């Protein structure tokens, strides 16, 4: 059983790709747009880059320091930040947009190619993970036979 | 593997590693040692109560009723900032899930190549270029991640915190990205409050002494003496701290970076995060966006129920994958194991399933204090199906 689990584990690992953060412009949330070699056969480069660039734009919008963020900050300070109990922050609004966008992308583009994107907020905003959905289903069969692996099953059902 | 039914919904905060304590069903997050925080509360509330009891009636009548009103507003603001700093998530970075940890391990192995037996493996560092400055990202053995820039691991709370400033025992929490502005406003408003109370204590004593004499005044309002003492000693430390943090904010530096001398200028190292403009730096730190918490504390652990509801103000409301932040990688060293115990991927992959199989029954409900902190011995909780 042990070598099978090991093979299973490394096979499943090979099908999870983590896109890391791009810190070249500081600590603002931005992900690397470099196309990983593991996804070469699974998805077109342009689609991948579009997705990551759109995500980066969303995060840039959320973290933009400008008139609106000053206004929000000053208003919140004046009310001793109690206003955040009733009002949603701009960042939270953008996060909801991001979640919707990722779901849309999964449904339209990635699921037909057997892939699945996980929202970065579930990984502490450290990575965007792309995983192979079909192998997840296969992995789940061995889960029911005793192998437990973190989060795979939920991500498959989430894709559905 | 049959699922074991549990009768109680388990929220994710109950399974979070790290040495935090949670209250109000995950809404409040603090460090374990809270004694000094209670002292802070006692000093502030005690001194202000004495002020309202002894000074305010006299001053409201003889000077202006605006004085106690303004004092009350300032006091409420101080308390709000203190509680906000103490109870919120400072910006804790969740630990890497097993797949991510192994992925990073594989990358490190690939980067290091084959290290001959007996030789120390090179330190786990990633270099990134930020605004034309090379910044080294260190690997955290406890959290199994490469720390983002400006993040640091707090040993008291046993968490990596983003934009880690320092761990403040007075507020009973770490000060990091998410609560730094509240901490700064707390110190600023507390300085103002201390100066305000001190000033009006003196004014009150002087005014009363004119009528009744100095010694009689002290006898009539004994609280004044206590207040003046507390304010006098508090003033120096709090005003000093506020000044120090104002300096840090204007340079866009953290206390941690200042202490380590990261951007002190030797070797031509400059702060890559500073906008080189005091106003811009202040605006970024104080008026920047309110970052969300990436720790989904109030989400439900998906053990039996497929639905997961989240209703908190601070965590995201997405239907999220349960956080299995506990990792089994017994051979990946943490800060306490010697460097020459080098992990191998095969070993960790092989060892990973067996501890999981041992932990099959439903997890015992932990006490309200945080779960076990030793990531090496903790086991992945299964989402059995």
A25-29, A94-98, B268-272, B324-328: the lowest-pLDDT one: B324-328
Write down the pLDDT at residue B213.
Answer: 87
Tokens of A125: 């905003």
Indicate which residue of B168, B231, B282, B283 is catalytic.
B168
Q: What mean pLDDT is reported for chain A? A: 77
Is there a domain that residue A101 lies in?
yes
CA distances (Å), origin A132, targets A1, A6, A18, A135, B319: 24, 18, 12, 6, 20
A11 within some domain:
no
Q: Does B344 touch chain A (CB under 8 A)?
A: no
Query: B209 CA to chain A: closest CA distance, Å?
Result: 38
Q: B229 CB contacts (<8 Å, ≥6 apart)?
A: none
CB-closest option in A65, A118, A144 to B284: A65
Residue B84: the pLDDT is: 93
**Which of A85-94, B155-164, B218-227, B285-294 ranks highest by mean pLDDT?**
B155-164
pLDDT given for residue B5 in this prediction? 65
Digit-coded pLDDT (tens) for B98-112: 888 888 888 888 877
Q: Give contacts of B323 with chain A, Cβ < 8 Å.
A: 122
B71 Rama class: left (phi>0) / alpha (psi -120 to 50) / beta: alpha
Paired tokens of B351: 């060892």
Q: Do residues B66 and B163 lie in contact, with contact meaning Cβ atoms separated by under 8 Å?
A: no
Q: Count of A–B CB contacts within 8 Å?
A: 167
In a domain, A150, yes or no: no
State the best of A150, A151, A156, A158 to mutate against chain B, taking most chain B CBs within 10 Å.
A150
Q: Does A104 touch chain B (CB under 8 A)?
A: no
Looking at the domain assignment, is residue A138 inside a domain? Answer: yes
Min Cα separation B38/chain A (Å): 21
Kindly determine whether residue B320 and residue A95, on different chains, have CB atoms separated by under 8 Å: no
pLDDT tens-place string over residues B278-304: 888 898 888 888 888 888 888 877 754
B166: which 2 tokens?
């320092």
| Partner B, chain A 84-103, Cβ-Cβ below 8 Å | 84-85, 89-92, 95-96, 99
A95, closest residue in chain B (CA to CA): B316
pLDDT band for position B66 (cuts 50, 70, 90):
very high
Q: Does any domain span residue A39?
A: yes
Q: For B175-204, what is each residue's pLDDT tens digit?
A: 999 999 999 999 999 999 999 999 999 999
A66-122 pLDDT, tens digit each: 888 888 888 888 888 888 888 888 899 999 999 999 999 999 988 888 888 999 988
The more confidently predicted of residues B373 and B151 is: B151
pLDDT at B4 over 90: no
pLDDT at B266 over 80: no
Active site (annotated) includes residue B168: yes
Question: Rounded CA gap, B290 and A75, in Å?
Answer: 12
Cα B196 to the center of its chain, rounded Å: 29
Backbone CA torsion sign across B216, B217, B218, B220: positive
pLDDT at B114: 67
Contact by Cβ (8 Å): B289, A69: yes
Whole-structure pTM value: 0.76
Percent of chain B with pLDDT over 90: 38
Say how many domains are in chain A.
Answer: 1
Interface residue of A2, A76, A80, A157 to substitute, partner B, most B CBs within 10 Å: A80
A6: in domain: no
| pLDDT for residue B90 is more than 90 | yes
Nearest by CB: A24 against B130, B323, B384: B130
Q: How far is A50 from chain B (nearest CA, A)?
A: 23
Q: Give the pLDDT of residue B133.
A: 84
pLDDT at B3: 61
Q: Confidence band (pLDDT; 50, 70, 90) for A8?
A: very low
Cα–Cα distance for residue pair A34/A32, rounded to 1 Å: 6
B306 pLDDT more than 60: no
A54-63, B9-18, B362-371: which has the highest mean pLDDT? A54-63
Mean pLDDT of B335-358: 43
Q: Which B residues, 126 through 145, put their C-beta within 8 Å of a C-beta on chain A? A: 128-131, 135, 137, 145
Neighbour tally for B315: CB within 10 Å: 24
Q: Report CB contact under 8 Å: A23, B318.
A: no
Question: Is residue B80 pLDDT above 90, yes or no?
Answer: yes
Q: Does A38 touch chain B (CB under 8 A)?
A: no
Position A79 in a domain: yes
Q: Which residue has the higher pLDDT, B338 or B229?
A: B229
Q: pLDDT grade, residue B237 (50/70/90)? A: very high
The mean pLDDT of chain B is 78
- Contact between A18 and B100 using a beta-carbon 8 Å cutoff: yes
Contact A13, B117 (CB under 8 A): no
Contact indicator for B358, B382 with CB cutoff of 8 Å: no
> Which residue, chain included where needed, has tokens 């104002």?
B246
Domain hosting residue A60, numbered range: 16-142
B102·A13 Cβ contact <8 A: yes
pLDDT above 70 as % of chain B: 75
Kindly state whether residue A36 falls inside one of the protein's structural domains: yes
Our CA dihedral for B77, B82, B83, B84, rounded to 10 degrees, sits at: 80
Q: Give per-residue pLDDT as tens, B103-149.
A: 888 888 887 776 666 777 777 888 888 888 888 889 998 999 999 99
The complex's ipTM works out to: 0.74
pLDDT above 50 (res B340): no
């Amino acid at each position: 059983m042990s070598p099978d689990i090991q093979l299973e584990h490394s096979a499943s690992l090979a099908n999870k790709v983590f896109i890391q953060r791009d810190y070249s412009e500081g600590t603002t949330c931005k992900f690397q747009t470099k196309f990983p070699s593991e996804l070469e056969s699974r998805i077109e480069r342009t689609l991948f880059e579009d997705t990551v660039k759109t995500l980066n734009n969303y995060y840039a919008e959320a973290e933009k320091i400008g008139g609106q963020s000053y206004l929000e900050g000053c208003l919140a300070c004046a009310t001793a930040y109690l206003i955040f109990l009733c009002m949603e922050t701009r960042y939270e609004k953008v996060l909801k947009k991001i979640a919707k966008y990722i779901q849309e992308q999964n449904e339209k583009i990635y699921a037909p190619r057997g892939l699945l994107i996980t929202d970065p907020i579930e990984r502490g905003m450290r990575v965007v993970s792309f995983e192979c959905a079909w192998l997840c289903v296969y992995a789940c069969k061995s889960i029911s036979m005793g192998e437990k692996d973190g989060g795979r099953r939920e991500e498959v059902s989430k894709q559905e | 593997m049959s699922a074991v039914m549990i009768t109680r919904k388990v929220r994710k905060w109950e399974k979070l590693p790290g040495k935090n304590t949670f209250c109000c069903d995950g809404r409040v997050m603090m460090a374990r040692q809270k004694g000094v925080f209670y002292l802070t509360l006692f000093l502030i509330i005690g001194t202000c109560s004495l002020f309202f009891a002894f000074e305010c009636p006299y001053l409201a009548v003889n000077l202006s009723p605006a004085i106690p009103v303004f004092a009350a507003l300032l006091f409420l603001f101080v308390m709000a900032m203190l509680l906000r700093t103490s109870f919120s998530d400072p910006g804790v970075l969740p630990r890497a899930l097993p797949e991510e940890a192994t992925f990073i391990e594989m990358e490190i192995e690939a980067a290091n190549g084959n290290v001959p037996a007996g030789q120390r493996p090179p330190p786990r560092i990633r270099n990134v270029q930020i605004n034309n400055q090379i910044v080294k990202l260190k690997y955290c053995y406890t959290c199994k991640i490469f720390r983002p820039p400006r993040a640091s691991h707090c040993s008291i709370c046993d968490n990596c915190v983003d934009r880690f400033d320092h761990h403040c025992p007075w507020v009973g929490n770490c000060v990091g990205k998410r609560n730094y502005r509240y901490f700064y406003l707390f110190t600023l408003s507390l300085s103002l409050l201390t100066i305000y109370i001190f000033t009006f204590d003196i004014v009150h004593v002087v005014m009363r002494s004119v009528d009744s004499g100095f010694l009689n005044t002290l006898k009539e309002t004994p609280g004044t003496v206590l207040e003046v003492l507390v304010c006098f000693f508090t003033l120096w430390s709090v005003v000093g701290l506020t000044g120090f943090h104002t300096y840090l904010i204007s340079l866009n530096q953290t206390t941690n970076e200042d202490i380590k001398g990261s951007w002190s200028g030797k070797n031509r190292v400059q702060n890559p995060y500073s906008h080189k403009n005091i106003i811009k730096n202040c605006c970024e730190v104080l008026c920047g966006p309110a970052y969300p918490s990436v720790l989904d504390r109030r989400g439900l652990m998906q053990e039996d129920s497929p639905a997961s509801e989240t209703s908190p103000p601070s965590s995201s409301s997405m239907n999220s994958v349960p956080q299995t932040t506990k990792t089994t990688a017994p051979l990946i060293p943490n800060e306490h194991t010697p460097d020459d115990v080098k992990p191998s991927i095969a070993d960790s992959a092989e060892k990973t399933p067996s501890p999981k199989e041992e932990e099959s029954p439903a997890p015992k409900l932990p006490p309200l204090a945080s779960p076990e902190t030793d990531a090496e011995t903790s086991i992945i909780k299964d989402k059995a199906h």
